[in-house]
Structure 1
Amino acid sequence: MLVPLESSAMPSTRTARHLDVLALPRVPLTFSAALVGRAAYALVLLPLLYAVTEATGSIALAATAVAVYGATASLLAPGRAWLIDRHGARPVLAVLIVSFGAGVAGIAAASLLGAPGTLLIVLAGLAGACAPPLGPTMRVAWGRLTPDDEMLRTGLSFDAVIEELLYLAGPALAGLALAIVAPGAALFVPAVLVVVGGLAFVATPTVGEMSVRGVAPHRRGRGGSLLRDRRFVGLLLPAVVAGGVSGTIGIAVPVVLADRGGPAAVGIALGVFAGGSALGGLLFGAMRVPGSPARQLVVLAAALMGVTSLVAVVGGAVGVSVVLAVAGLFFSPIMIVAYVAAHAAGGEHRQNSATTWVNTGHNLGGSVGSAGAGVLIQAAGAPTTLVVVAGVVGVLLAVSLVLASARPAAEDASA
């Protein structure tokens, strides 16, 4: 059953702080191990692009390799999560971690040996297909590491902030590495990180408990797909919206600032958006927000789109940066609430699937937002595009509220 965030909490944790959550038993070990493994994802894309380019002399083949890697990593994520829910986290994650590390190392070695583009693209696709869901599994682990909803929300907010910082620092660190070593050699770094951190995460008692608790009960009562649950789809749509807005920003801002500062201004504007998102996650995790997850998600997503739309009317790089900094404040909170809601929606036996669908929905929204924004901007310009996107978002959020508020059907009672 989906429950409001304000469900009963111990008085001592009603104002749970991030330091309080980090002080909980087993949190430092579990989270730090997962963090080392997750760092690999922030470091792999740039070296992959340059490694394939250097090996083949073709930026087109390199872009294809990156796209294939991203596609298999994202589209097959629900399947990998289902395997974890079906067979337990520890055995499935261990296989995926070793396979992914071997796949990335294989790309590194093949690129250094000058392998053909076709082979490198195939290897990239295979690596993406094995990408271990360390982030979603860690978010499930937060539910076992925290004693109540308030602590869970604070833990997830801290998780979201650190992930934002990882993806801010990762490309910069990868760029520095590429100035020192060959791209193929640089790829060995994420390969080692995911194996060392990932296997350390798998070895923690928390993941062991997930494996023990997750297998037998699931076999006794298998639920249908979460996408058949209207309430879950309703909660998923704001995550799709957040991804769509992010994807739209990535295309629209370079166009808006093309004659107002160029690439440097674009980099700053997108950077402050990410910074605002990190700050928003920290602030949201320290607050007690009334209302059900469904209402919180709709309000936050509407605010994100509403503020972002101001990019169409403000002038200059400073104005765009200020707007995006404010808009970013709403981005991480959307994902935090979506993950908290996924814990409830997934029940005891489908939490990995639920949190992974939040990730997948966000990524899908980002891809559609980027592609749609490109087409619309080419046809009608950035301001019109933002207005159209705002209209689509309004419709999706209305549908979200209706679906998330629906009474569970009789056939969903066991979900």
Structure 2
Amino acid sequence: MSTRTARLRDALATPHVLPTFSAALTGRAAYALVLLPLLYAVSDATGSIAQAGVAVALYGAGASLLAPARAWLIDRHGARPVLGALVLLFGGAVAALAITSLADGPNALLMVLAVAAGAVAPPIGPTMRVAWGALVPEGDLLRKGLSFDAVVEELLYLVGPAVAGLALAVVDPGLALFVPAVLVVVGGLLFVATPTVGAMGGRPRGETVERRRSLLAERRFVAVLLPALVAGSISGSLSVAVPAVLSDHGGAAAAGVALGLFAGGSAVGGLVYGAVKVPGSPARQLVALALGLLTLSSLIAVVTGAVAVSVVVAAAGVFFSPVMIVAYMAAHTAGGEHRQNAATTWVNTSHNVGGAIGSALAGVLIAAAGTPFAVAVMATVALLLLVVSGVLARRR
């Protein structure tokens, strides 16, 4: 691999990049800060951790399952009106959750507000990734911009829960919920007001059948989604398998360090991928990078001890961000002029669905037959999905 001549500073110095990215980052920070306050606010209001878990699950289900529908609305009617409305609705729903929890409101109302907040969660991250494609030329600068975006997002979700946890030590969870509500409204509206988002208009009325057809009906696009699904499933399964493997080797503390190193490795991988020229088409890169992630993560079935597991998990993490970066770049191309939000959102959804399936399946298999068996089964399924991805990408 040879070093690229384009630099990250060139991408960041492109007109409108910094104000657009800064506004989006402010709005996206809300997602990294909302889950812990939501969990504890509902728990305090209902006196039940089970009810709190249900509220978080409802929020997550609404956010993930309806993401393609929200992206379709943006592509159909334009980013500024739809995203602006979603930002205000989400901020209002989270604020309503805060008020209801502080007032010890009815359990049913808390559940309704949780699922409503998830249902209207504005896709600021996917829209920002579309904005990168409009702000910088395709090729080197776009790769660097998307790599930087992925690294910052990893750090956001690494630091956000820690900040939220520290805040909850001194602030009522209900009051803490106002912070993400304010962040998403302020950052989201600033993002919506940028010229780049304003230029994301809806589809013209005379759209062709090609534009109306679902992206999921296109083989090459499905080939992009499968590695993202595999990456999500690996991330989700590690969140269950690592604590199981380290139960007798440091327990929760060692597992927390190892999973944190996975996120750290992912951030490093994103920086490295943005700094070097990787040969091969996006389809080949996706399969190769996902294979690296799968191979290294599977080693947790055979290594023992906190140090060995941490090293393996950190090394696997190096491949995680590059998989998602290439998937977003390929989705940007596949979406064409009128389906880019839908394309990038489907990549997000595939990752989220994979994460949910991975964590659930890992828990069931580990409980039934132990970690090595669970890893073997899941690795086999993941390998088959990557083979299918390679076949679909090559078919004309």
TM-score, with normalisation over the residues of structure 2? 0.98
Alignment of 1:153-168 (within 5 A): 153-168=143-158
Q: In structure 2, how many angstroms separate the alpha carbons of the residues matched to 1:184 and 1:242?
A: 34
Out of 263, 266, 271, the position equivalent to 1:274 is 263
Out of 216, 224, 229, the position equivalent to 1:227 is 216
Q: In structure 1, how many angstroms separate the alpha carbons of the residues matched to 2:206 and 2:363?
A: 43
Provide Cα deviations, 1:275-326, integer angstroms capped at 9, x if missing partner.
Answer: 0000000000111111111110101111101001111111100000000111
Match of 1:387 in 2: 376
Provide Cα deviations, 1:71-120, integer angstroms capped at 9, x if missing partner.
Answer: 00000000000000000000000000000000000000000000122110
Shift of 1:69: 0.2
Give the match's secondary structure for 1:141: helix
Q: In structure 2, how many angstroms separate the alpha carbons of the residues matched to 1:307 and 1:57?
A: 42
Out of 332, 338, 363, the position equivalent to 2:321 is 332
Give the match's secondary structure for 1:263: helix
Shift of 1:219: 4.2
Match of 2:203 in 1: 215
Match of 1:9 in 2: none
Shift of 1:218: 7.2
Out of 357, 376, 390, the position equivalent to 2:365 is 376
Provide Cα deviations, 1:188-246, integer angstroms capped at 9, x if missing partner.
Answer: 000000000000000001111112xx432774663211000011001110000000000
Match of 2:391 in 1: 402
Shift of 1:405: 1.5
Out of 60, 64, 80, the position equivalent to 2:70 is 80
Out of 107, 115, 129, the position equivalent to 1:139 is 129
Q: In structure 2, how many angstroms separate the alpha carbons of the residues matched to 1:217 and 1:276?
A: 46
Q: Which letter does structure 1 place at the counterpart of 2:302?
A: V
Q: In structure 1, how many angstroms separate the alpha carbons of the residues matched to 2:270 and 2:391?
A: 26
- Percent of residue pairs identical: 69
Shift of 1:17: 2.1
Residue 155 (structure 2) pairs with residue 173 (structure 1) = no
Shift of 1:23: 1.1
Q: In structure 1, how many angstroms separate the alpha carbons of the residues matched to 2:236 and 2:272?
A: 24
Residue 105 (structure 2) pairs with residue 115 (structure 1) = yes
Alignment of 1:11-160 (within 5 A): 14-160=4-150
Q: Which letter does structure 2 place at the counterpart of 1:176?
A: L
Task: Show structure 1 runs of 5+ residues with no match.
Answer: 1-5, 7-12, 408-415
Contact 2:4 2:275 in 1 (8 A): no
Shift of 1:406: 1.4
Q: In structure 1, how many angstroms separate the alpha carbons of the residues matched to 2:354 and 2:149?
A: 21
Residue 145 (structure 2) pairs with residue 184 (structure 1) = no
Out of 338, 354, 364, the position equivalent to 1:349 is 338
Provide Cα deviations, 1:144-168, integer angstroms capped at 9, x if missing partner.
Answer: 1112221111100000000000000
Provide Cα deviations, 1:40-66, integer angstroms capped at 9, x if missing partner.
Answer: 000000000000000000001000000
Count how many residue pairs are aligned between Structure 1 and Structure 2: 394
Match of 2:294 in 1: 305
Provide Cα deviations, 1:338-382, integer angstroms capped at 9, x if missing partner.
Answer: 000001100000000000000000000000001100110011101
Residue 231 (structure 2) pairs with residue 242 (structure 1) = yes
Q: Which letter does structure 2 place at the counterpart of 1:143?
A: G
Shift of 1:16: 2.1
Contact 1:15 1:286 in 2 (8 A): no
Out of 270, 291, 296, the position equivalent to 2:280 is 291
TM-score, with normalisation over the residues of structure 1? 0.93
Give the match's secondary structure for 1:289: coil
Q: In structure 1, how many angstroms separate the alpha carbons of the residues matched to 2:309 and 2:168?
A: 31
Q: Which letter does structure 1 place at the counterpart of 2:73?
A: L
Q: In structure 2, how many angstroms separate the alpha carbons of the residues matched to 1:259 and 1:368?
A: 26
Contact 1:103 1:127 in 2 (8 A): yes
Contact 2:245 2:304 in 1 (8 A): no
Q: In structure 2, how many angstroms separate the alpha carbons of the residues matched to 1:127 and 1:315?
A: 42
Q: In structure 1, how many angstroms separate the alpha carbons of the residues matched to 2:4 and 2:77?
A: 35
Cα RMSD for the two superposed structures: 1.3
Q: In structure 1, how many angstroms separate the alpha carbons of the residues matched to 2:192 and 2:255?
A: 39
Provide Cα deviations, 1:123-154, integer angstroms capped at 9, x if missing partner.
Answer: 00001000000000000000011122211111
Name segments (4+ residues, structure 1) moved above 6 Å: none
Q: Which letter does structure 2 place at the counterpart of 1:352?
A: N
Change (3 A) 1:209 1:152: same
Shift of 1:14: 4.3
Contact 1:21 1:155 in 2 (8 A): yes
Q: In structure 2, how many angstroms separate the alpha carbons of the residues matched to 1:130 and 1:186?
A: 20
Contact 1:217 1:349 in 2 (8 A): no
Q: In structure 1, how many angstroms separate the alpha carbons of the residues matched to 2:152 and 2:207?
A: 35
Out of 224, 235, 249, the position equivalent to 1:260 is 249
Match of 1:359 in 2: 348
Q: In structure 2, how many angstroms separate the alpha carbons of the residues matched to 1:109 and 1:16?
A: 49
Q: Which letter does structure 1 place at the counterpart of 2:177?
A: L
Task: Show structure 2 runs of 5+ residues with no match.
Answer: none
Contact 1:15 1:288 in 2 (8 A): no
Q: Which letter does structure 1 place at the counterpart of 2:113?
A: L
